[in-house]
Chains A and B, each alone.
Chain A
Amino acid sequence: MIIGHDDTQLMLAEVGRFARERVATAAARPERPMGDDQLATLSSEAQALGVLPSLGDEGCALWEHPANAASMAFSIGALRHIGHANAGVAFAWHRTALAHRLATHLGITHHASGALDLALAPTGHYGLARTSLAHWLRRAPSDAAPAGADDARLMADWLDRQSCATTVIAPRAWNTLLWPAWHEGRFAWRLVDREQLDAPQCRAQHGLDELAAFTVRDVAPASVALPHDDATALHALAHALALDWLGLLAIAVGALERGQQMAVAFAAMRQQGGVLIARHPAVQRMLSDIDGARRQADLALASFGAAIDDIDLGAVASARATLHPMLCDAANQVVQVHGGIGYMSDAGPEKILRDLNVLKLQGGGVLAAHAFVAGWAEVFA
């Protein structure tokens, strides 16, 4: 199903209403993260609404038509709305929708039993394989020249799913994991049942309290034949990274906008020295920093509302490397505007900060994004 700009606006309005009325309400107590049952119920509702994909039904769910610019704008806008209501829920829906999209694109069959059955780990066990991943992805499928030995070695290690555990954040109920892996000397995508994995749940992670963290490793080498060729697999990886990074950015901007609203409201109510703190230049500067970061990220997101093949992966990585730290700084300012209250779990700002930190560290993290950008540009290669 192909949608146009007008459709996008109508659909986003509907998702915004759903996020406000259902998700935000369920997440109203930041110190008490929603339980698995509530997340499952909301996810079923999101599936019924068409935000989350359903098996066998074609629609306009998140990331379902990345070749269509309006659909991309819808996905980014929807994740921003949901992230505004709750970053954990938005992250879960983003990753599961992206997993569905990739599986369909790759021709991998799966039988999801629930809306959040399918989890995704789009990167290797640490960072983004320095510049090697970028080099690997830059090579045209028809490129006859073999990849450099160093890049090949690093990619093989980065995607070694047996020796190295990968951190995966997902709903506790996930049953199947889609991830890129090194398979018989080449790069491939694998769909693995949870019982085939060593995936212990970790102690409470830094943020996204609605979800859980797992350190996941393959217990045995893959033996199944893979339905896709190298070029398709690489193409899917480039798409997966671009969409994942855009999703993480959109969720972060939505969450920060909520923090900004909280900070502005608090500054307009709290007095210090006999006047509202909104009138203190110290607070005005912080509010300005928050606003500036949010606007810059919004501008960047708007520029990526294009068909996926028209988006430069290096540009997305660059935006991520620059904007996520800025958004985290802004979330820090949200806490700081609130003073002591901002540090308390029942107030909300500290959770937004923790959630933004986690979003910054997902998808390889921002330190690795700098190396990726350098490798992508081939300036220093």
Chain B
Amino acid sequence: MNAPKRDGHLDGHLPPEHPLSPHAKYRDLPPVGRLLSNYAVRDLWDTDFARLPWPLARQRRRARDFAERHMAPIADALDLAPHLAPGECHPDARALLREAGRQGWLSYFLPRPLGSMPWSTLAYPAIWQCSVIVEEFSRSCGGLMLLLSAHHLGAMPLLLAGNARQLLVDLPSVYRRCERGDPHLMAFAITEPGAGSDAEDGHGAATYRPGVVATPTAGGWLLNGRKCYISGGDLATSVTVFAALQGEGMESWTCFHVDAATPGFRGARTERKMGMRASGAAELEFVDVFVPHARVVGALRQGWAINRATLNASRIPVAAMGVGLARAATEAALDFARRYTLGGKPLVHYQEVQLQLATMVAETRAIRALVWQEARHAWRPRQLHASLAKFHATDVAQRVCEMAMDLVADHGVLHEQRVEKIFRDVRLTRIFEGTNQVNRLSLVEDWQGQLLDADHSMGV
């Protein structure tokens, strides 16, 4: 039942004008006291907005406006749409991709004129900008966020390891097509049917027998094998594919920038997923796919390092996905608690509801603080920091979503209440880019030099 508009105060709390309310009484403090105390009635989003450097704050507002205008209105339709065959794209998703491209959301990792990054943001790590944007997009729809973000993951190897031509010609040409509204999407292909975590963990990779193999041929390489769970892989115009060299193990992994129009490349199937349904996860098949030497990214046998560096760059934005989804769940629960009445008053008047909401807000802001702390210094993202942010933020985010569902109670199972979709979306963030168990071990792997040095004390 919808609540009527009420003034005054919440049950169990004093009204702001009450003599014992600090809201009123702080105004009577001496000037220094007023300077050092704060009871401003300010939206929490705006509070954090003011704490960002202005170029990133501007991007944050732009991203929120874009997400609210173009993503939120189509989120439900794409979540409930029938499953699509490989290569098919829902018309609303296609339109969103075109608009996102035109507005620069598919090209913001390079500054103008190569990409769309405002020069003012160059003073800050690109990972920070990306995290701020990803939070806003995730808040509107996890699936549509992934549809847009998987492209950046695919382009990351070119940014991290591309030669001058790849960085100054190939990637900008990808970006220009996006900005013209004819998106050239990229995808990142590491996972193979026989191994999920082996592609994300060094210890696992040491014993894994690669499933996609590159065989030398005149002028380049022939790729054979299959990759699975590749976000956006069937819609991509080109894919960064990691393959072992013939007769060698994972240490020979090499990154190839594969044109999806090359004969032998095929999106074999797309998965039916629990959530993030607006973004497809494809199985890709390679049958003698020719890749010229010029499209090797970095050098031969540098693939493993490029893969790990890419994951270090992407795991902080994945943590930001958790923040965005936790925020969406918290906002949905807040909306419900303010609107829905029991016993003649909105739920928000009840203490048990206030406790639940307070915890959700605190958890959401705590993981945002973690993400921003790590992103702020992510000029060269360290594995330990990236993995820590990823597993902790996404674990907490799911707990927040569960709290939201519990608060909405019987109604929480309804799609119309939004939180059940948010739960289905957030569940993926604890699995992809390395399960959260693998990310915990990844933290330790990065730390082992110190851990093994028993002669020196360690700080945390």
Which A residues form the contact surface with B (CB < 8 A)?
31, 123, 125-127, 129-130, 132, 150, 153-154, 157-158, 163-167, 169, 202-207, 213, 215, 272-274, 282-283, 286, 325, 328, 332, 335-336, 339-346, 350, 353-354, 357-358, 360-362, 364-368, 370-371
Contacts and interface: CB of A to CB of B under 8 A. Distances in A.
B410 A167 contact: yes
Given A205-B413, A207-B413, A339-B196, A365 B80 contact: no
Given A163-B1, A169-B413, A203-B415, A274 B423 contact: no
14 contacts: A31-B272, A126-B347, A130-B352, A132-B343, A205-B415, A206-B415, A272-B196, A272-B201, A335-B431, A336-B436, A340-B196, A340-B431, A366-B406, A367-B407
A206 B1 contact: no
Contacts of B408: 361
Contact of B412 (A164, A286, A361): A361
B344 A153 contact: yes
Interface in B328-350: 340-344, 347, 350
B413 A206 contact: yes
Contact of A127 (B80, B201, B342): B342
A344 B228 CA distance: 12
Contacts of A354: 274, 424
B254 to A, nearest CB: 22
A168 B201 CA distance: 46
B342 A158 contact: yes
Given A126-B342, A273-B201, A202 B414 contact: yes
Contacts of A123: 410
Contact of A126 (B198, B411, B430, B441): B411
B273 interface: yes
B272 A345 contact: yes
B203 interface: yes
B76 to A, nearest CB: 8
Contacts of B343: 129-130, 132, 150, 153-154, 157-158
A130 B414 contact: no
A167 B186 CA distance: 43
A367 B423 contact: no
Nearest to B271: A344
Interface of B: 1, 76, 80, 191, 195-198, 201, 203-204, 206-208, 228-229, 271-275, 340-344, 347, 350, 352, 356, 398, 402, 405-416, 420, 423-424, 427-428, 430-432, 435-437, 440-441
The 10 closest A-B pairs by CB, nearest first: A274-B207, A365-B409, A206-B420, A350-B274, A345-B272, A273-B204, A282-B437, A154-B343, A203-B415, A206-B413
B406 A361 contact: yes
Contacts of A358: 413
A172 B342 CA distance: 28
A371 B204 contact: no
B428 A343 contact: yes
Given A340-B191, A365-B406, A215 B274 contact: no
Contact of B342 (A31, A154, A203): A154
B431 A343 contact: yes
A361 B413 contact: yes
Contact of B198 (A150, A169, A272, A343): A272
A206 B427 CA distance: 13
B164 to A, nearest CB: 36
A151 to B, nearest CB: 10
Nearest to A349: B274
Nearest to B440: A282
B444 to A, nearest CB: 11
Contacts of A213: 413-414
Nearest to B350: A130
Nearest to A131: B352
B83 to A, nearest CB: 9
B448 to A, nearest CB: 16
A370 B407 CA distance: 12
Contacts of A206: 412-415, 420, 423-424
Given A127-B342, A367-B352, A344 B273 contact: yes
A150 B196 CA distance: 56
A167 B413 contact: yes
Contacts of B203: 273
Given A125-B1, A336-B431, A357-B405, A272 B410 contact: no
Contacts of B427: 332, 335, 343, 350, 353
Contact of B410 (A126, A340, A344, A371): A126
Given A206-B420, A206-B423, A336-B437, A167 B1 contact: no
B340 A126 contact: yes
Given A274-B208, A339-B431, A202 B416 contact: yes
Contacts of B405: 357, 361
Contacts of B406: 360-361, 365-367
Contacts of B204: 272-274
Contacts of A367: 352, 356, 406-407, 409
Among B271, B274, B398, B431, residue most surrounded by chain A Cβ atoms (within 10 Å): B274
A367 B398 CA distance: 17
